[in-house]
Amino acid sequence: MKVLLVYPEFPDTFWSFKHALQFVRKSSSNPPLGLLTIAAMSPAGWEKRLVDMNVTQLSDDDIEWADMVFISAMDIQRKSTHEVARRIRPAGKLIVGGGPIFIGEWQDFPEIDHFVLNEGEITFPMFLKDLESGTLKKTYSTQQYADITRTPVPMWELLDMKRYDSMAIQFSRGCPFGCEFCNITAMLGHVPRLKTSKQIIAELDAIYDQGWRRNVFFVDDNFIGNKKALKEDVLPALIAWRKGKIGMNFITEASINLADDPELMKLMTDAGFISVFVGIETPDELSLTECHKSQNKGRSLLENVKNLQRNGLQVMGGFIVGFDADTPSIFQRQIDFIQNSGIVTAMVGLLQAPFGTPLYERLKKEGRINTEMTGDNTDGSTNIIPKMDITVLKDGYKTILKKIYSAEGFYARVKTFLSNYNPVSAPVTMEMQEVLALFRTIWKIGILSPERKYYWDLFFWTLIHEPKKLPLAITFTVYWYHFKRVSEMHALEGVSAIAA
């Protein structure tokens, strides 16, 4: 059996970092971890070929070679997923779909023969059994949660690692919190399920043995969902593993209550964690109450962010506008918070209601689900009918983007961050492309850009005030280049939509 594993293309978004990755000659931020894991769960006798369309093209030869095609995707890959399925269908290959996009809308993909839904550790063996017996069903689903202590090491050998900026690994699934707009608990439950430290080390060994020395992204939706297991087992094991190793720093996602735990922050930075994505959402207490973001309430979010930074963790922040409790004052409040916090990577989006979430169910009952969700929570779209006038909401959202991604606002925020940040972990191994990237930034941003004065102001300010952080400052100028390009693209799309 020859199996082609296809990962559809992501559109150009804030999250893609496409324009930033060009500076270091990378094609994608992270690999398709789900497909690599499914490959490892497949029969050993199968021939397997991976095509990640974010780093390479899907060729006619690839399709002709295959007996069966697996497609895995998220909502944001919807357009490319449809195109891939329609392209493969005439070739007469057996097509199997899996991943979050199909859970709520598998019926919208008539070109796909079978769907392996929910957690593959449970449903994929069902599919394999029926495939062998010739009794395949249309869909395979489950309401149970998988025992991920039995999840195999992904097949990293299928990957062209040099095309990626970081690798990916998963420690846990599920989150103890119940944010109304989040589909994680709907899909994966409230009780975090954990891999063992031996599994994590085995996966890291596999990545390291493939020659990887750069960042690794722990893709857990809340890495600190079980603090006890982290403190007593996983983080000590990571600290021991990294001794004598070159490179390999870690990035993850965590809830804001990480800032309450000095012991946990120190263990994480000692283990090599350098950055966390935190769902800040909003500085408005009423909106936090509305969306059941209890972990963010009754605290100084600004001080919490600065505490994480002082303890060696860069903070990437998620922000939302469009809650029912929001008033037009929220736009300036969000701008002020982002600027004062020094959150350089600030991802702001309109409230959306993913399928299966409590928010989706509530708004559906109220008749306020409007359109199909794009899956990109920073493209200025929403699938809900907000209480705020939609024109006011979208104009306010555009104002936020204009302010925080302007050269003046962005570079000022970088200085705020660098002044507060206390790095602990050593930088990853530098590649020649990263050395060359400095000269590319000088040319593209420091010379060609109309806003080049901000680049040089930050360059010399950092040399004088924070010289050890200059590589980080240069990295952030590349982020700005990407954010600026994407925000301008969204602005043009908005003009086109109005003209239409």
**Can you give 129-186 as a three-state secondary structure string?**
HHHHHCCCCCEECCCCCCCHHHCCCCCHHHCCHHHECCEEECCEECCCCCCCCCCHHH
What percentage of residues in the chain have a pLDDT greater than 70? 96
Question: Does 153 map to a domain?
Answer: no
Same domain, residue pair 229 and 318:
yes
343 within 8 A of 324, measured Cβ to Cβ: no
Is 372's pLDDT higher than 80?
no
Give 407-459 pLDDT, tens digit per residue.
999 999 999 999 999 998 655 555 677 788 899 999 999 999 999 999 999 99
CATH, residue 57: 3.40.50.280
Say yes or no: 451 and 475 in one domain.
yes
Instruction: Kindly report, residue by residue over 45-77, the tens digit of the pLDDT.
Output: 999 999 999 999 999 999 999 999 999 999 999
> In this structure, is residue 447 part of a structural domain?
yes
| Element holding 274 (H helix, E strand) | strand 273-281
Does 243 fall in a domain? yes
The pLDDT of residue 380 is 80
State residue 498's pLDDT score: 30
Both 390 and 442 in one domain: the answer is no
Residue 426 inside a domain? The answer is no
User: Do residues 325 and 292 lie in contact, with contact meaning Cβ atoms separated by under 8 Å?
Assistant: no
Last residue of a domain, one of 366, 396, 420: 420
Q: What is the pLDDT of residue 379?
A: 75
Per-residue model confidence as pLDDT tens digits over 82-106: 999 999 999 999 999 999 999 989 9
Look over the chain and give the mean of its residue pLDDT values, rounded to a whole number: 94
In sequence order, which ranges of 227-300 are alpha helices (DSSP H)?
Answer: 227-229, 235-242, 262-270, 285-290
Q: Are residues 311 and 386 in the same domain?
A: yes
Above 90 in pLDDT, residue 13? no
Q: Are residues 438 and 413 in the same domain?
A: no
Q: Residue 80: which domain range?
A: 2-140
Q: Are residues 276 and 170 in the same domain?
A: yes
Query: Are residues 240 and 369 located together in one domain of the fold?
Result: yes
Domain limit, last residue, from 99, 122, 140: 140
pLDDT, tens digit, 9 for 90 and up, residues 273-316 = 999 999 999 999 999 999 999 999 999 999 999 999 999 999 99
135-to-127, 129, 138 alpha-carbon distances in Å: 9, 9, 10
Asked if residue 318 belongs to a domain, the reply is yes
Q: Which of 125, 140, 155 is at the close of a domain?
A: 140
pLDDT at 177: 95
Q: Are strands 193-194 and 172-173 parallel, antiparallel or unpaired?
A: antiparallel
pLDDT at 500: 29
Per-residue model confidence (pLDDT) at position 378: 66
Task: Report the number of distinct structural domains present in the chain.
Answer: 3
Residue 355 sits in the same domain as residue 249? yes
Each residue of 173-211: pLDDT tens digit? 999 999 999 988 888 999 999 999 999 999 999 999 999
Taking the model in full, what pTM does it have? 0.94
First to last CA, the chain: 49
Query: Which tokens sit at 464?
Result: 């004088």
Q: What is the CATH number of the domain that holds 180?
A: 3.20.20.70
Q: Is 240 in the same domain as 187?
A: yes
What's the pLDDT band for 244 if we cut at 50, 70, 90?
confident
Percent residues over pLDDT 90 in the chain: 88
- Tell me, yes or no, whether 135 and 245 share the same domain: no
The answer to whether residue 98 sits within a structural domain is yes
* Strand 2-7 to 68-72 pairing: parallel
Residue 376 located in a structural domain: yes
Do 381 and 449 reside in the same domain of the chain? no
Same domain? 23 vs 126? yes
Q: How confident is residue 489, by pLDDT bands cut at 50, 70 and 90?
A: confident
Q: Does residue 388 fall inside a structural domain?
A: yes
Is residue 481's pLDDT more than 60?
yes
